[in-house]
Structure 1
Amino acid sequence: MANDVFRRCGCRDENKKQLGGRCPHLATDPKHGSWGYYVAGGVNAATGKRQQFRKTGFPTQKAAREARNKVAVKVDQGTYVPPSKETYGEYLDKWLPRHAATGKGLKPTTMDNYERYIRNDIKPSALSRMLLTDIRRYHLNEFLSGLSEAGRGAITVRRIAAVLQGSLRAAARSHRIDHNPATELELPTAEKHKVSVWEPAQVGAFLDVASEHRLGALFELAMFTGMRRGELIGLRWTDIDLAKRVITIRNNRVQAAGRILDQGTKTDAGERYVDLDDRSTGALIGWQIQQAAEREAGQEAYEVSGYVFTMEDGRPLKPQYATRLFESLRVKAGLPKLTFHGQRHEHASLMIAAEVDIAVVSKRLGHSSISITSDIYGHLIGSASRNAAENAAALVPAKKARAHTLHSQAPISA
């Protein structure tokens, strides 16, 4: 093993040939040249050639020997990955399309986001220019910290971190690197903001204004079903059973990479059945009659798309059109700021105020777990929970009069 560690220099003879370990100065000057090592790696199964892993540039013999021993252990265990000439940016160009096409794949909107984060944030950075095998956890933490210092929001930074974690996890799994450095990263804390909703009277005022528009039924359905924007504009008449008063949600119409796409629901739990109330059912029947009249008036110019909510000529709605229409109606009604997605929160708050079980609310919204629903709407449960407690206690008969009555109730007679 002694010959596995060596010292050499870059001096050359009169013929410009490198002397390497034959330089006479190596024997007289202990600081001349540098130390290196080589490790025999057996036969490469793919090429049939013997492998030898080398590295030089160590200042002392001890440093070279320690590095050599670490590599030898990994070679014996079959976990050693030789240094790569592939940069992280080059690897990402190969990883993303492969990741999108394998396993569960990526939805178009997720793919669009990943491409944007790689193009705008990762590729311009020094991290992208590093060799894949040189990346360590502190490099990743410094990169993410730099994003935060540049003003990127905590949620955005965490999403970019997800790209780092996914790509480097795949690199380790495919033995391009000997370990995954993207574990236990230092991520910024994303503050949770309480959901802000309108009062029921304000919801009524908005729907009164919306009813004057041809697409008023769109907002009736949004408020009373909690469907997402993409689920609403991607809804087809074949997904609705008006006789049974139930909607099957199986489509999500979204915009990705400048295109409007129909894709599956956001999560597996997102594909669900939603029961309709009387008001929503009536709104849909009224809209069905109006849409039929528009189709009759449009004749050959009318595009029969099968979607529930359409433009006057039958073309399906675009996501941004629905958002802009909601905002214009909100302003017309003189109501506080609320996003289109806020109607989904509004439905949840109305359900909770009506003392509906949180599990039912979660199922209607298509959340993957009840904990997600509780995290988002937990602050709205207070009064509903108190009412439920009172109702539960009222079911139990009492043989004796209560010894104490709250001051809010009638005073006890002397």
Structure 2
Amino acid sequence: MPKYGEGSVYFETTRNKWHASVVDPQGRRTHKRFNTKEEANAWRLSMTAKYIKGDYVVKSDLTLGTWVLQYLGVFVKPKVREKTFLDYANTAAHINEELADVELQKLTPLAVQAYINTAEMTEGMKDRVIKLLCRASKKAIATGLIEKDFMAGVEVLKPEPKEVEIFSPEELSIIMKTIDSDARLRRHHLLVSVAIASGCRMGEILALTPQDLDGDAIKINKSLVEVKGVAKLQPPKTRAGYRRIPLPKNIMAELYQAAYALESGEIIKNANGKPCLSTNIDKSWKRILNKAGIPYRKFHCLRHTHASMLLAAGVPILEVSKRLGHSRPSHTLNLYGHAIPGYDSQMPSLVEKVFNIGNCNKETISAVSCPVLPQTTKKVEPNCNQNATY
């Protein structure tokens, strides 16, 4: 049996090529042909160096599709919630056989980019597929399945972000009157009221129990989501999701009244006294808007409306971000920055006051008194880690 690291270089007269070979750590001989002896020797030495450093990747016929499923099952599923995992699985299902059947070690950025460019899917789904493949590629490198990142340079033209939709105060009033005027819709009064007053997500409100009522506020510590037609409780995604939200007295009074007869379980239930499913709420929400004569917007837009109105009223963005349960205020700013009152009309006078440049002329311009700006010695590096690795 050939020895590990053993190699040779010789000239093949029949092919007019230099043949180089080397034995890998598993005792298998790998070979390649070159035009010159120098190239053949360089390859033999580089392969030997890889064996010594432990950088050699064992040849495998593992396909991309098989690897993505293994990656999701082994590395992702144990760390995410069930519904999130199903979202990842749905994204993986959009990778068709044209790409999924390619051997992982033969995959190139060019092949992936060509597939993305011609794939019949929305730009949003293309973006999700690329992010999934980027994570799968990095994990394949980390686990020694491939040498090079097959997603290096692959990109998708992201569509312009959609403008956040909100309801006007007049529309909110009409919605509540519509709910209260219809016996079949009236049971949704509390859910919609709390959504408007708190900015909570639907699942967070549906998960409220009597134990979550805390004086003049509600405590958010879980969410009720629908997974394959079954209502399930899950914790918030981040620590910021755990929060206490003060509400108006009349809303809290309604919650306490609804919770009075309950010892446990969710305060808001369906007509059969069971936990509400989001799909059923969505159907009722469409009926409410249709009867109210208001153009359809998702139930989640009540959350957008709450945040936008608070910011428009001058509530600090940090306070709004905490109320919404965002882990980063920058996310709140990106979503609702348009709602923050503008100061353009006040800028001239503010600049004049801060920099003391009112009534300046050519003789005094050089004597302008400017505030001393704070200095920093800390170098700020850009955040390039856009794709998290599970």
Deviations 1:254-289 (A, max 9, x none): 223444321111333212111112232133234346
- Equivalent positions of 1:205-354 (< 5 A) are 205-212=174-181, 213-241=186-214, 244-288=215-259, 292=261, 306-354=265-313
Whole-Å separation in 2 of the counterparts to 1:366 and 1:94: 33
Q: Alpha-carbon deviation of 1:362?
A: 0.7
Q: Aligned pair 1:187/2:146, yes or no?
A: no
Whole-Å separation in 2 of the counterparts to 1:238 and 1:324: 29
Q: Aligned pair 1:381/2:353, yes or no?
A: no
Classify 1:355/1:314 alpha carbon distance in 2 versus 1 (closer, same or farther; 3 Å). Answer: same
Whole-Å separation in 1 of the counterparts to 2:11 and 2:287: 77
Mean alpha-carbon deviation: is it higher for 91-100 or for 361-370? 91-100
Q: Alpha-carbon deviation of 1:176?
A: 1.4
**In structure 2, the residue corresponding to 1:215 is in which secondary structure?**
helix
Structure 1 unpaired stretches of 5+: 9-25, 45-49, 296-303, 397-401, 404-414
Q: Aligned pair 1:108/2:55, yes or no?
A: no
Whole-Å separation in 1 of the counterparts to 2:226 and 2:35: 57
Code of the residue aligned with 1:199 in structure 2: it is S
Mean alpha-carbon deviation: is it higher for 183-192 or for 270-279? 183-192
Q: What TM-score, normalized to structure 1? A: 0.74
Aligned match of 1:21:
none
Match of 2:321 among 338, 341, 362: 362
Whole-Å separation in 1 of the counterparts to 2:226 and 2:40: 55
**In structure 2, the residue corresponding to 1:205 is in which secondary structure?**
helix
Classify 1:231/1:279 alpha carbon distance in 2 versus 1 (closer, same or farther; 3 Å). Answer: same
Classify 1:370/1:328 alpha carbon distance in 2 versus 1 (closer, same or farther; 3 Å). Answer: same
**In structure 1, the residue corresponding to 2:27 is in which secondary structure?**
strand
Aligned match of 1:11:
none
Aligned match of 2:114:
142
Q: Alpha-carbon deviation of 1:108?
A: 1.1
Could you tell me whether the CA contact under 8 Å between 1:223 and 1:347 is conserved in 2? Answer: yes
Could you tell me whether the CA contact under 8 Å between 2:210 and 2:256 is conserved in 1? Answer: no
**In structure 1, the residue corresponding to 2:273 is in which secondary structure?**
coil
Structure 2 unpaired stretches of 5+: 360-390
Whole-Å separation in 1 of the counterparts to 2:192 and 2:41: 72
Code of the residue aligned with 2:9 in structure 1: it is V
Classify 1:233/1:35 alpha carbon distance in 2 versus 1 (closer, same or farther; 3 Å). Answer: farther
- Equivalent positions of 1:77-156 (< 5 A) are 77-102=53-78, 105-118=79-92, 120-122=93-95, 124-147=96-119, 150=120, 152-156=121-125
Structure number with bigger Rg: 1
Aligned match of 1:173:
142
**Equivalent pairs: percent with the same residue?**
24
Mean alpha-carbon deviation: is it higher for 62-71 or for 73-82? 62-71
Mean alpha-carbon deviation: is it higher for 346-355 or for 178-187? 178-187
Code of the residue aligned with 1:197 in structure 2: it is I
Could you tell me whether the CA contact under 8 Å between 1:53 and 1:82 is conserved in 2? Answer: no
Q: Alpha-carbon deviation of 1:62?
A: 6.1
Classify 1:176/1:364 alpha carbon distance in 2 versus 1 (closer, same or farther; 3 Å). Answer: same
Aligned match of 1:407:
none
Code of the residue aligned with 1:97 in structure 2: it is G
Classify 1:107/1:58 alpha carbon distance in 2 versus 1 (closer, same or farther; 3 Å). Answer: farther
Could you tell me whether the CA contact under 8 Å between 1:222 and 1:228 is conserved in 2? Answer: yes
Q: What TM-score, normalized to structure 2? A: 0.79
Aligned match of 2:130:
161
Higher relative contact order (CA 8 A, sep 6+): 2
Whole-Å separation in 2 of the counterparts to 1:86 and 1:6: 32
Code of the residue aligned with 2:30 in structure 1: it is R
CA RMSD, Structure 1 to Structure 2 (Å) = 3.0
**In structure 1, the residue corresponding to 2:94 is in which secondary structure?**
helix
